[in-house]
Structures are given as C-alpha cells and as structure tokens.
Chains A and B, each alone.
Chain A
Amino acid sequence: MKNIKYLVVGIFFGIAFVKAEVISWFRIQEMFQLTSFHMYGVIGTAVVTGMISVFLIKRLGIKTFGGETIVIEDKKFDKGQIFGGLIFGVGWAITGACPGPLFAQIGAGFGVVTITLLSAVGGTWVYGKISEKLSG
C-alpha cells in the first residue's frame, strides 16, 4: 500500500489544523474582521516555509525518495482564479472552512459538517457540468 504514507502526512497535517485552531469558524471570522493576526501568521509562515523548501529543492536538485526528479507545473492564469476565487472566499467566511478544514472538522466531531462537505462535492460537480460554458 504505497498510499499509506500520504495518509500519515494527512494525519500530522490534520492534527496541526486542529491544534492551530485554523479549523475554527471563530478564527476565520477574526481573520476577515481583521481582529486577530493568528490566521495571517499561520498562512504567512506556511507560505514562507513552503517557499524556502521549494527553493532548496530546485536549487539543490533534490529528488524524491524514490529517485524521481521533482517537477512542479506552472499555474496558468484563468479568469476563474478571480471569479471562482471570490465565490470560494464568500463560502470560506460562511462555513469557516476551506476544503482541508472541512475534513478535519468532521474528524474533530462536528458531524453536521458532513452536509457542508457533500454540498461542496455538489458544487464541484456543478462546476464540472458547466465548466465548458464558463471557459468560453
């Protein structure tokens, strides 16, 4: 089962999510009401950590543990990043969760978030259904 390692990374990540309280609806309200630095600190530190890591991997030509060359595809600009981004932002403040925290909230015992997750799957499905029309 070569995928178990990703489950393990997910577990550590999920614990960090809960302990940093980034899965908290309250923390998301604080972030968007600009009353606390916490979320900006978490996301900012995560970005800097990721940036240094990616820089070192590229600079030193570090390969995967399996010896594969690490390739990170560039993101292509699309107007969806603006419109979709705005829509997601609105949903983020309502649910208090981006997709990752949805899973952690359910695990942490907020069972009703299962409905939010199902609706998010539904939203993704509807996007898939109309995506060709949107990209015109």
Chain B
Amino acid sequence: MIELIKQPWHWLPAGIVIGLTVPALLLLGNKKFGISSSLRHICAMCIPANIPFFKYEWKKEIWNLFFVAGILIGGFIAARFLQNPDAIVVAPKTQMILEQYGVKDFTGLMPLDIFNWQNLFTLKGFFFFVIGGFFVGFGTRYAGGCTSGHSIMGLSNLQWPSLVATIAFMIGGLVSANFILPFVFKFLQ
C-alpha cells in the first residue's frame, strides 16, 4: 500500500482526492474551498495599514490559515516519507524546450537551477520569485480567487464568472509559458 502511495499518482485518483476537498470543507463547517483568500487574511492580520479592503473580521476566517498550514505540513510529509525514489518524468518535448532555455536539472519536482537560495539576489531570482509571486498574489485577489476558489469550487457550483476567470487563467498561462518565458530565459542566458 505504502509503495503504491509513493509512486507518482495517476491524474484520476489525484483529481478525486483534490475534488473531495470541496464536500469535506462544506460538511465540516460550511466552508468554501479557496486558498488565495489566505493571502488576504495574512495581510489583514499582519499589515492592514488602515486599508478598507483589509478591514474585516479575519478572525472568523482563521480556519483558512489552519487549512493552508495543513497543506504545508502535507507537503512536508509527502516529500519526507512518501517520496518517489525515481526522477520526475517530464514530457520529452517540454524537456527539450526547457533544455534550450538552459534548464538542466530534471531530478526533482522543481528545477533546482532556478529555485535555489543562490538565485535570490540575481535577476533570475527576482523574476521567478518576486515578480512571479507578485503576479500570483495581485492577480488572484483581483480575480477574486485562484484555481481552487474559481476553477474547482466555482465550477463545481456552476458559476459562470468562475468559468470566465478559469479561461483567463489559462490564456495568461499560455501566453506566459510560450511567449514571455522564452524571452526571459533568452535574456537571462
């Protein structure tokens, strides 16, 4: 059993487990699945700065911070005790494209030639951590949700604005991965 769990999961059982988070949260306490709100609660809790957008009773939403803390712990458990012993299998075409960009490390879930502390004060780090993170935080809040709140929770509840948001996420990602990233990698090389 544990050997089976250690293998990378097929999309079908993985999608079912992730999808079951929706009813789990609803049944446990009428909570709506959504993760990017946690970033807003962190702002409201730590740096409200008298901004109306952060003046609400964040204490009522504290469950959301417990939830994301759980995700962090789950990430730790999976990587520490349930790690796949083999290297990740990347689609050959994507691996070829990324190699042209100068990505050489295909051993783990993340390319260590980008995501390491040594890159922190470099242009590469600035782009991948600071700019990328800023876009994720700004964009999700402006959109009123992320992949979980809109694409999974919103679509599950047949909300058309969530479909609009999901299409926008996909268009943004397609443009970013196929046009912006190649340009940036070229510039960084």
Q: Could you tell me which A residues sit within 8 Å of B by CB distance?
A: 2-26, 28-33, 35-51, 53-54, 57, 62, 64-66, 68, 70-78, 80-100, 102-113, 115-129, 131-132, 134
19 of the cross-chain contacts (CB-CB < 8 Å) are A3-B62, A6-B67, A9-B28, A10-B72, A36-B91, A41-B11, A43-B15, A49-B16, A50-B155, A57-B26, A71-B30, A78-B161, A82-B168, A84-B142, A85-B150, A91-B138, A91-B176, A112-B129, A124-B141
The one of A50, A82, A105, A118 that contacts B110, using a Cβ cutoff of 8 Å: A105
Say whether A17 contacts B133, CB under 8 Å: no
List the A side residues contacting B75 at CB < 8 Å. 14-15, 17-18, 23, 103-108
Say whether A100 contacts B129, CB under 8 Å: no
Knowing A6-B63, A12-B74 are in contact, say whether A91-B139 is a contact too (CB < 8 A). Answer: yes
Is there a chain A Cβ closer than 8 Å to B189's Cβ? Answer: no
The one of A44, A65, A85 that contacts B168, using a Cβ cutoff of 8 Å: A85
Which of A90, A132, A134 is most buried by chain B, counting CB atoms within 10 A of its CB?
Answer: A90
Is there a chain A Cβ closer than 8 Å to B25's Cβ? Answer: yes
Interface string of B137-153 (1 = CB under 8 A from A): 11111111111101111
> Which 10 pairs, one residue from A and one from B, show the smallest C-beta to C-beta distance?
A89-B172, A10-B70, A14-B74, A45-B15, A85-B168, A49-B19, A84-B142, A107-B75, A123-B137, A91-B135
Docked pose: A45 CA to B53 CA in angstroms: 34
Residue of A nearest to B145 (CB): A75
Say whether A46 contacts B19, CB under 8 Å: yes
Interface SS, B side: helix
Is there a chain A Cβ closer than 8 Å to B136's Cβ? Answer: yes
Knowing A10-B67, A116-B133 are in contact, say whether A100-B148 is a contact too (CB < 8 A). Answer: yes
Docked pose: A26 CA to B14 CA in angstroms: 17
Say whether A119 contacts B173, CB under 8 Å: no
Which of A11, A95, A124, A125 is most buried by chain B, counting CB atoms within 10 A of its CB?
Answer: A124
Say whether A104 contacts B175, CB under 8 Å: no
List the A side residues contacting B11 at CB < 8 Å. 20, 37-42, 45
List the B side residues contacting A12 at CB < 8 Å. 17, 21, 70, 74
In whole Å, how far is B21's beta carbon from the nearest beta carbon of chain A?
5
Docked pose: A28 CA to B176 CA in angstroms: 11
Docked pose: A116 CA to B39 CA in angstroms: 12
